[in-house]
Structure 1
Amino acid sequence: MALPTNAARLCRLAGRTVASVLVKHRRTVSLPTTRCYISTSMGNNVQFRLDERTAHSSLDLFKKDTGVIYRMLGIDPSHVQGNPERFRDWAVVFGDEKISSGRHYWEVTVKKSQEFRLGVAEALMSREDCVGTNSSSWVFGYAQRKWFAMTSNKIVPVTLVGKPDRVGLLLDFEGGLLGLVDIEKPRLIHSIRVQFKAPLCPAFGLWDGELLTHSGLEEPEGLK
């Protein structure tokens, strides 16, 4: 699928392994309607780990599956256990929890990456797409020293001075809000408003360095 120039630049070819670029004929696999996530979160303070079954072959998980590191060469996709939940073309990984209601907050240490996306995506989102390029995912990203919000290939600049070591994400399922949080204040830096209609998973795209997730946290008082 051809992406607009600005979206293609942000979700660049480096997010793919060499092997995946050379494949000319790709077998289409349908995702199962029943997913094998640990549980479905319907309250608050979601706690999750990263789901190795969804991780692109260029991504390695560490620290008991709470962190992810990007490796440009990655693993030959033919050597990775095949399953329909895995991202084959884009350097994306999901969290292992589905969120179907409630208000949730988690944080991500981003100081060791210069190109990434953080947000949520529908659990049954197509594995052919990158997070932020379709109407089933909503993310905040950082690339070329600039922040942006993105969904359906539409990029909105986010005004943020500098780059903090760690940021927060606030999800209000019923309220239709995904917010990027300055954890020092605390305050909402930018919000994406949308009517969520299907269970969501925490979603991460990574094209440089590493990310570390921190879940099961209480929402800061200043955001309530």
Structure 2
Amino acid sequence: FSLYRSYFGKTSLEYHLQTLENNLTNLVKRNSELENQMAKLIQICQQVEVNTAMHEAKLVEECDELVEIIRQRKQVIAVKIKESKVMKLRKLAQQIANCRQCLERSSALITQAEQSLKENDHARFLQTARNVAERVAMATASSQVLIPDVNLNEAFDNFALDFSREKKILEGLDYLTAPNPPSIREELCTASHDTITVHWTSEDEFSVTSYELQYTIYTGQTNFISLYNSADSWMIVPNIKQNHYTVHGLQSGTRYIFFVKAINQAGSRNSEPARLKTNSQPFKLDPKTAHKKLRLSNDCLTMEKDESSLKKSHTPERFSGTGSYGAAGNVFIDSGCHYWEVLLGASTWYAIGVAYKSAPKNEWSGKNSSSWVFSRCNNNFMVRHDGKEMLVEASLQLRRLGVLLDYDNNSLSFYDAMSSQHIHTFEISFLLPVVPTFMIWNKSVMILSGLPVPDFVEGTSLDHQEQQQQQMGLCRQESPYLTGMKNCH
């Protein structure tokens, strides 16, 4: 018992020693963090003092400049007033002189006329009266002779000094602050397979000098501050004057994260991050790969089984199997998240998926390790890869198949696009670029590519991840439900 007690006593002592050492380590670490925090706060206080002194000096400088501008403008306007006064008085003096001259002439005529009226000699009266009448007639013929033109607007009463607008501006003087953060309007943003047009609004539009757009590929990192500080990965578009911008040359089917920075002389502020996505890579059916018994539409979006189709030359990339009437898309995809749909029409025998370039062209897709497909054989739906098949549930009325290739996250999913129902997801460790593949045994199918990823697809990958891992475990063996099904090639 004593040995037992001694043993456990020693163990207890070691435990408490270890606990104390851990606590001490944590306290030392915490103390160091507090000291660092205090040092930063002291540094900020010192910086506040420096910045305050700088701003106060700048305030005095700016106000002195305003006072000097007002003094100069006062002097200029005073000179203009004096010059206008001299000019107007000169004109008025000339008008007064003209009036005085006319008055003297008029007075002389009046005196001469009065003297003529007193003349008693009729002959001399007639001669004098005729002379006076002619002079009066000549004088009154022009109003400017007797009554000179007087400009009543020369009184300088139509001049005004109104600085009310400037006074309001001066009363509103304040220190300039960085503009409020702009807001990215995701509902207004648009995208194609290689462009995104970003729209934003700003409450301080009139105080913003310019905007700066920053973007990078979104990797799923949720710590935006850490992501933002990793400056090496960001693309920057500076000096934007409008509230929108179109970024070109982006990767198709890729999610990007965007910031908009509003800038003026006082500083800048960033918007909240916005995650925007380019549309899927558009593609068409590649005629060089189409089976000789397939007819493609002129736009290479529809393929139809046609036994009477013109004979085509054999090429290594052409599907050539007796039961694999297939065609491939004209693109190879090695990144991004892409969604396309297939209009199945009345076809009841098809296989749709993706494959490596090396996948055999003389057998059904999914029968080898280089291809993955969702397939229908009459009333049975299945997924197939590396020759292994598994039944899946789907509606017999399935008319629109959605295909989601998430290359970056190693998955290939299939959906009933009409009912938004998830059918199956392959978890694939992609090693090479893949190409969309399409096979039919009857009727026709049509492809719709370059589509945005639908909302019902966005949240399904994580929800079905555990289920799909279990299903992939089943796919490692032949499905017992398909034993003896030789019709499906």
TM-score interval (norm. to shorter): 0.7 to 0.9
- Indicate the residue corresponding to 1:168 in structure 2: 402
Residues 75-154 of structure 1: pairs in structure 2 closer than 5 A: 75=310, 79-89=311-321, 90-154=324-388
Q: Using the alignment, how far apart are the partners of 1:213 and 1:164 within structure 2?
A: 15
For the residues of structure 1 that align with 2:401 and 2:362, how far apart are their CA atoms?
A: 28
Larger radius of gyration: 2
Q: CA deviation at 1:42?
A: 5.1
| Aligned partners of 1:187 and 1:223 also within 8 Å | no
Residue identity in the other structure for 1:197: L
Distance (whole Å) between structure 1 residues aligned to residue 287 and residue 333 of structure 2: 18
Which SS does the other structure have where 1:99 is aligned? coil
AA in 2 matched with 1:216: G
Q: Is the 8 A contact 1:179 1:189 kept in 2?
A: yes
Q: How far apart, CA to CA, are the structure 1 residues paired with 2:372 and 2:415? A: 15
Mapped partners of 2:339, 2:318: distance in 1: 25
Deviation of 1:156 (Å) = 0.6
How far is the alpha carbon of 1:149 from its aligned partner?
A: 0.3
Q: How many residues align?
A: 181
How does 1:199-218 map onto structure 2 within 5 Å? 199-218=433-452
| 1:53 aligned counterpart, secondary structure | helix
TM-score, normalised to structure 2, is 0.36
Superposed CA offset, 1:89-143 (max 9, x none): 2311100010001100000000221100110011232223321110000000111
User: Which protein has the bigger helix share?
Assistant: 2
Which residue is 1:3 aligned to?
Answer: none
Counterpart selection for 2:291 from 53, 56, 80: 56
Partner of 2:456, secondary structure, is helix
Structure-1 residue corresponding to 2:252:
43
Q: Secondary structure at the match of 2:345?
A: coil
| Partner residue, 1:30 | none
Report the secondary structure of 1:121's partner residue: strand
CA drift at 1:152:
1.1
**Which deviates more, 80-89 or 60-69?**
80-89
After superposition, what is the alpha-carbon deviation per residue over 1:33-92, rounded to whole angstroms, capped at 9, x for unaligned?
Answer: xxxxxxxx95310111000101111111015000000124544xxx31232111122311
Q: Partner amino acid for 2:450?
A: G
Give the stretch that moved more between structures: 209-218 or 147-156: 147-156
- Asked if the contact 1:42/1:99 (under 8 Å) is kept, the reply is no
Equivalent residue, structure 1, for 2:389: 155
Contact 2:400/2:418, CA 8 A, preserved across alignment: no
Task: Kindly provide the amino acid, as one letter, of the partner of residue 52 in structure 1.
Answer: P
SS of 1:215 mapped into structure 2: strand
Measure the CA separation in 2 of the matches of 1:191 and 1:52. 29
SS of the aligned residue for 2:442 comes to coil
SS at match of 1:107: strand
Tell me which of the two structures has the higher relative contact order, counting C-alpha pairs closer than 8 angstroms and 6 or more residues apart. Answer: 1
TM-score for both structures, normalised by structure 1: 0.76
What CA distance in whole angstroms lies between the structure 1 residues aligned with 2:251 and 2:385? 24
Other-structure match for 1:16? none
Q: Percent identity?
A: 29
Q: Give the Cα–Cα distance (whole angstroms) in 2 for the partners of residues 153 and 72 of structure 1.
A: 27
Alignment of 1:69 with 2:297, yes or no, is no
Measured in 2, the distance between the counterparts of 1:84 and 1:185 equals: 39
Partners of 2:328 and 2:438 within 8 A in 1:
yes
Distance 1:210 1:176, change over 3 A: same
RMSD: 1.7
**Displacement after TM superposition at 1:196 (Å):** 1.1
Partner of residue 414 from structure 2, selected from 155, 180, 184: 180
